[in-house]
């Protein structure tokens, strides 16, 4: 597939499946915006892409700090004339390092990094995506989902890393469905997916789990939603790998959608 002239931002693309997606999109001719926290790792990815004749740029931001997410959005708007695809892939896994952790803004860490950062980045980049239409947003979620307890979203009671991770991934899915409805007719589609089960990534190995899938399997699934011709104009979908699927029940609850939207706008100061 020829992606010449397209600009694509992949968050969390200095390692794992995000890196593989960035490399493959660059091979297709896209201008790839590589995001990560570590300058050396970002430079390694971008140098590798350029050595093969690809076009890539580095954008650094720590997603545990919402001010850095805002700065990332500002930099993308400043440095690039268009944005054809946004792939929200950055995240942290279930291993908690000894218990509940908080972001720099005081939010439960997995909810902040896996969900709130992507929510804010997407909202801030919507004008550029709309101006580049037809455009796509892909949220890399998980089959691991747990209903959100809106009386204790920050998990001050009964915390576990697995619960925190699964709640944050469901939040991504709810946001996907909500935004897809909002953007109907705007030329911007929004879909989400579970890319593959236990890919051979740092996140999976840190959780002490034996990998069951390759990063290329996960990349195939992400690229299907990001640039696949079969998904052109289709929106508000959840995929399990390459197959359409359904999330857990709360993902389709209008009250949960409204509650999450209101909370997210407040926490990111977009209200």
For 92: left if phi > 0, alpha if psi spans -120 to 50, otherwise beta; the answer is beta
User: Would you state the pLDDT for residue 112?
Assistant: 98
Q: What is the pTM of this model?
A: 0.95
Q: What is the pLDDT of residue 211?
A: 66
> Are the beta carbons of 143 and 240 closer than 8 angstroms?
yes
Collect contacts of 153-156 with beta carbons under 8 A, ≥24 apart. 153/108, 153/111, 153/263, 154/107, 154/108, 154/111, 155/100, 155/108, 155/111, 156/100
The burial class, CB within 10 Å (0-12 / 13-18 / 19+), for 266 is: exposed
Identify whether 168 is part of a domain.
Answer: yes
pLDDT, position 271? 65
Range of the domain at 204: 7-267
Residue 207 has a pLDDT of: 63
Average pLDDT, the chain: 95
Rounded to an integer, what distance in angstroms lies between the CA atom of residue 226 and that of residue 219? 10
On whether residue 35 sits in a domain, the answer given is yes
pLDDT cut 90: percent of the chain above it: 89
pLDDT digits (tens, 9 = 90+) for 236-255: 999 999 999 999 999 999 99
Instruction: Quote the pLDDT of residue 1.
Output: 78
Domain presence at residue 106: yes
pLDDT at 87: 99
Q: Using an 8 Å Cβ cutoff, are 49 and 25 in contact?
A: no
Mean pLDDT value across residues 138-164: 97
Whole-number pLDDT of residue 97: 62
Structure confidence at residue 94 (pLDDT): 86
| Tokens coding 39 | 């300058």
Q: Is residue 1 part of a domain?
A: no
Report the CATH number that the domain containing residue 218 is assigned in CATH: 3.40.50.720
Q: Kindly provide the b/e burial profile for residues 22-41, where b requires at least 16 CB atoms within 10 angstroms of the residue's own CB.
A: bbbbbebbbbbbbbbeeeeb
pLDDT at 24: 98
The answer to whether 238 is a known catalytic residue is no
In this prediction, residue 145 has a pLDDT band, given cuts at 50, 70 and 90, of very high
**87 found inside a domain:** yes
Is 121 among the domain residues? yes
| pLDDT digit string, tens, across residues 197-226 | 867 676 666 666 776 678 999 999 999 999
Catalytic residue among 165, 198, 238, 252: 165
- Other Cβ atoms within 10 Å of 5 Cβ, number: 10
Number of domains in the chain: 1
Q: Is residue 2 part of a domain?
A: no
Dump pLDDT digits (tens) for 18-30: 999 999 999 999 9
């Amino acid at each position: 597939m020829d992606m010449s002239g397209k600009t694509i931002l992949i968050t969390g693309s200095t390692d794992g499946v995000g890196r593989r997606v960035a490399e493959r999109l660059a091979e297709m001719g896209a201008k790839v915006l590589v995001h990560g926290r570590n300058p050396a790792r970002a430079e390694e990815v971008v140098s590798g892409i350029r050595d093969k004749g690809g076009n890539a740029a580095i954008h650094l931001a720590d997603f545990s700090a919402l001010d850095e997410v805002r700065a990332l959005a500002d930099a993308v708007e400043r440095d690039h004339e268009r944005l054809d695809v946004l792939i929200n892939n950055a995240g942290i896994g279930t291993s908690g390092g000894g218990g509940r952790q908080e972001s720099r803004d005081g939010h439960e860490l997995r909810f902040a990094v896996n969900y709130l950062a992507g929510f804010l980045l997407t909202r801030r980049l919507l004008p550029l995506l709309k101006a580049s239409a037809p455009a796509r947003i892909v949220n890399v979620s998980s089959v691991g989902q747990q209903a959100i307890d809106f009386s204790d979203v920050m998990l001050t009671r009964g915390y576990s890393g697995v619960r925190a991770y699964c709640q944050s991934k469901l939040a991504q899915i709810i946001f996907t469905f909500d935004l897809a409805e909002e953007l109907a007719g705007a030329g911007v589609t929004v879909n989400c997916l579970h890319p593959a089960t236990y890919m051979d990534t740092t996140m999976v190995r840190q959780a002490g789990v034996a990998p069951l899938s390759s990063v290329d399997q996960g990349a195939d699934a992400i690229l299907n939603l990001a640039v696949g011709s079969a998904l052109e104009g289709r929106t508000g979908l959840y995929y399990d790998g390459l197959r359409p699927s359904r999330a857990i029940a709360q993902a389709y609850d209008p009250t949960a959608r409204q509650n999450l939207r209101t909370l997210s706008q407040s926490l990111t100061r977009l209200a």
